[in-house]
Amino acid sequence: MTDQKDIEKLEASARRIRAHILTQINAAGSGHPGGSMSCVEILTALFAHRAAAGATWFGRNARDHVILSKGHAAPALYATFAEVGMIPEAELLTLRQLGSRLQGHPDRTRLPEVEMSTGSLGQGLSVSLGIALALKLRNEPFYSYAVLGDGEINSGQIWEAIAYAGTNKVDRLVAILDANGIQNDGRIEEVLELRPYAPKLEAFGWAVREFDGQNMAEVVDAVDWASSDAPGNKPRFLIAHTTKGAGVSFMSDRADWHSHTISDEQLKAGLKEVMG
Amino acid sequence: MAATPTNAPEGFVSLRDVFGDAIMALGARDQRILMLDADLASSTRTMKFKKTYPDRHYNFGIAEQNMVGAAAGFAISGYIPFVNTFASFLTRRACDQIAVSVAYPKLNVKFFGFHGGINLGEDGATQQAVEDLAIMQGIPGIRCYAPIDGNDLARVMNEVADVDGPTYVRLSRFPSPLVTPPVASETERAAAYRVLTEGKDLLVFTTSTLAAKVIEAAQALKAEGIGIRVLGITRLKPLGDEIATEVRTFAGKSIAVVEEHSIHGGLADGLSALLDGAGISHRIERIGVPDRFGESGPPDALLEAFGLAGAPLRARLKATAKG
């Protein structure tokens, strides 16, 4: 169990990350706020808690690996990098600009701190799987995390990776599903219903845990569980129940905020809400 | 390098057997090399590697997209994955994964497409790849090779193992004649191009094991008084600039490209772009697979039916030489 004071610190980080997301998309004039806001606690738990990232984390060889497979949530990733000191905060305002390191979808050739270039959905889990297999081959005590969207898992490649990891007991692999219930064209049940997730994943040989993905203490607890020997000789799947656009009332649980610009007025209102 | 397979005529060698031997040599030399298969390890001759290095072999099942993504993860972790399956399943099915997970982040993944072209024969269009090179050449940053015989493949294997970045090697299935000299050393790399026959009437570019059929045609036409200079191109991308010089020396005469590939996006297109860039005006007779899929048939009969071997090829080359 993480100390209440530490959880409060992480919650403060999450608020600043949300503010950065809004500011970035407002400056860029386009982007994906909904799915960025829903995965904030997940990324905060991974980078600020589990990895305790800091400016020098990325340069180390011996460490965990994190891939944001739902690449359209790039603003959340960049904001998290800034929050833990991996990139300068001022750079966030270059999002989507010509020549920027902060491409519309993450690009590791521009920004090496990005572990994998993503954006064509469904590809990140396989890459995380390859990293997890490499960790096992070297017998290193680290984990390979992939952050997925619930729209993204429509992709067949995701299920190829799920089947492989289950068959081969790839226990260094942790998939974290940002299950906000909405994809580009609407609600999951209107587009492609894959729930219930847990029994399917368990049948594929994964250890599964479900929790409130906007509750920092629960997210931290789940990440700690997945990053331990507790789940046994299995790959680990965390189902984080989240809300699209979480933290801002006018975006919350709204499909039309999947890809949307943020006006100056909306920015002002949104910042007021997330920073309290 | 590879011994002649027992089922092949003297002097014939199967590229996949050379591949099987080469990966054993490379695997012993470099512990970072891994073999990735998609339920075709027996066809791609990686079984021996699996037996010798069980920890460095992974079978992903019939799941090529996941295999390519996992290869990217291995490459990020400092390994050199060799990704093996049929050219058709690799390039058509996992095209987006090759582009986004490997080529865009410039990762050191080696792709091997087996049974490229139509010479797989009886299995028919679904297993044949008439567009693999077009797909791979269209993806930024991937070096593309189509070795012209077993010796040539051995040189290509040395090269792709040394190059840091994604590469694609197209292999043909059946034993084919050795038309290039044996490998001189363990480090010898592929030449930009190789003169396979001499002649002054027509300049022909070809690639992959189809080169043997083009040599046959050139030799037959020589008896009829038509001299053909056949150039074998091993590395299609990037194409060596020196190839433009060859064309310059043939100014005013006919040029043909013979390839076991769609006439769209293969060697003919690559050569056209090179010549355009060099400011050399030209007309290229494109002898390849027109805008259609392959079909079932015995390999040699199929190549003839598509005009890529035997009498139909000779007729095409003769007509081109006479302009």
Region A58-80: mean pLDDT is: 94
Q: What is the pLDDT of residue B169?
A: 98
Region A118-132: mean pLDDT is: 98
Distance from CA of B66 to the nearest CA of A (A): 5
Cα–Cα distance measured from residue B161 to residue B167, given in angstroms and rounded to the nearest whole number: 9
User: What rounded mean pLDDT belongs to chain A?
Assistant: 96
Region A169-175: mean pLDDT is: 98
Question: Looking at chain A from residue 24 to 83, which residues have their Cβ under 8 Å from any Cβ of chain B?
Answer: 65
Cα–Cα distance measured from residue A101 to residue A98, given in angstroms and rounded to the nearest whole number: 9
Does the pLDDT value for residue A236 go beyond 80?
yes
Q: What is the pLDDT of residue A76?
A: 98
Distance from CA of A84 to the nearest CA of B (A): 23
Residue of B nearest to A66 (CA): B73
Distance from CA of B97 to the nearest CA of A (A): 7
Confidence band (pLDDT; 50, 70, 90) for B1?
very low
- In percent, how much of chain B has pLDDT > 70? 98
Q: Exposed, middle or buried, A90 (CB in 10 Å: 0-12/13-18/19+)?
A: exposed
Q: What is the pLDDT of residue A92?
A: 98
Does the pLDDT value for residue B6 go beyond 60?
no
Lowest-confidence segment of B40-49, B131-140, B283-292 by average pLDDT: B40-49
CB contact under 8 A, A130 and B105: no
Question: Looking at chain A from residue 204 to 223, which residues have their Cβ under 8 Å from any Cβ of chain B?
Answer: none
Does the pLDDT value for residue A143 go beyond 70?
yes
CB contact under 8 A, A131 and B77: yes
Q: Which residue has the higher pLDDT, A53 or B92?
A: B92
Q: Which residues of chain A lie closer than 8 angstroms to B97, CB-CB?
A: 123, 126, 157
Q: What is the pLDDT of residue B3?
A: 39
Does the pLDDT value for residue B252 go beyond 80?
no
Question: Looking at chain B from residue 208 to 227, which residues have their Cβ under 8 Å from any Cβ of chain A?
Answer: none
Distance from CA of A135 to the nearest CA of B (A): 8
* Residue of B64, B74, B77 to mutate when probing chain A, most A C-beta within 10 A: B77
CB contact under 8 A, B66 and A157: yes
Residue range B22-59, pLDDT digits in tens: 999 999 999 999 999 999 998 889 999 999 999 999 99
Q: Point out the residue among B66, B71, B76 whose CB comes nearest to the CB of A116.
A: B76
Q: What is the pLDDT of residue B7?
A: 59
Confidence band (pLDDT; 50, 70, 90) for B2?
very low
Does the pLDDT value for residue A182 go beyond 80?
yes
Residue of A nearest to B71 (CA): A130
Region A10-31: mean pLDDT is: 98
Contact A257, A251 (CB under 8 A): yes
Q: Which residues of chain B lie closer than 8 angstroms to A138, CB-CB?
A: 77
Q: What is the pLDDT of residue A105?
A: 97
Confidence band (pLDDT; 50, 70, 90) for B269?
very high
Q: What is the pLDDT of residue B249?
A: 86
Question: Looking at chain A from residue 106 to 135, which residues have their Cβ under 8 Å from any Cβ of chain B?
Answer: 107-109, 115-120, 122-135
This complex has an ipTM of: 0.95
In three-state form (DSSP H/G/I as H, E/B as E, the rest C), the secondary structure along chain A is CCCHHHHHHHHHHHHHHHHHHHHHHHHHCCCCHHHHHHCHHHHHHHHHHHCCCCCCCCCCCCCCEEEECCHHHHHHHHHHHHHCCCCCHHHHHHCCCCCCCCCCCCCCCCCCCCCCCCCCCCCHHHHHHHHHHHHHHCCCCCCEEEEEECCHHHCHHHHHHHHHHHHCCCCCEEEEEEECCEECCEEHHHHCCCCCHHHHHHHCCCEEEEEECCCHHHHHHHHHHHCCCCCCCCCEEEEEECCCCCCCCCCCCCHHHCCCCCCHHHHHHHHHHHHC
Residue of A nearest to B61 (CA): A164
CB contact under 8 A, A129 and B77: no
Q: What is the pLDDT of residue B251?
A: 73
Q: Point out the residue among B60, B71, B74 whose CB comes nearest to the CB of A164.
A: B60
Distance from CA of B76 to the nearest CA of A (A): 7
Q: Which residues of chain A lie closer than 8 angstroms to B38, CB-CB?
A: none
* Residue of B31, B36, B37, B66 to mutate when probing chain A, most A C-beta within 10 A: B66
Is B79 at the interface with chain A, CB within 8 A?
Answer: yes
Q: Point out the residue among A116, A117, A164 whose CB comes nearest to the CB of B66.
A: A164
Confidence band (pLDDT; 50, 70, 90) for B318?
very high
Q: What is the pLDDT of residue A61?
A: 79
Distance from CA of B103 to the nearest CA of A (A): 10
Distance from CA of B18 to the nearest CA of A (A): 28
CB contact under 8 A, A127 and B63: no
In three-state form (DSSP H/G/I as H, E/B as E, the rest C), the secondary structure along chain B is CCCCCCCCCCCEECHHHHHHHHHHHHHHHCCCEEEEECCCCCCCCCHHHHHHCHHHEEECCCCHHHHHHHHHHHHHCCCEEEEEEEHHHHHHHCHHHHHHHHHCCCCCCEEEEECEECCCHHHCCCCCECCHHHHHHHCCCCEEECCCCHHHHHHHHHHHHHCCCCEEEECCCCCEECCCCCCCCCCCCCCCCEEEECCCCEEEEEEHHHHHHHHHHHHHHHHCCCCEEEEEECEEECCCCHHHHHHHHCCCCEEEEEEEEECCCCHHHHHHHHHHHCCCCCCEEEEEECCCCCCCCCHHHHHHHCCCCHHHHHHHHHHHHHC
Residue range B72-110, pLDDT digits in tens: 999 999 999 999 999 999 999 999 999 999 999 999 999
Distance from CA of A168 to the nearest CA of B (A): 10
CB contact under 8 A, B71 and A128: no
Stated pTM of the model = 0.95
Q: What is the pLDDT of residue A208?
A: 98
Region A10-14: mean pLDDT is: 98
Q: What is the pLDDT of residue B74?
A: 98
CB contact under 8 A, B104 and A163: no
Residue range B142-155, pLDDT digits in tens: 999 999 999 999 99
Q: Point out the residue among A118, A119, A137 whose CB comes nearest to the CB of B55.
A: A137
Q: Which residues of chain A lie closer than 8 angstroms to B77, CB-CB?
A: 130-131, 134-135, 138
Region B224-248: mean pLDDT is: 94
Q: Point out the residue among A116, A134, A157 whose CB comes nearest to the CB of B105.
A: A116
CB contact under 8 A, B61 and A164: yes
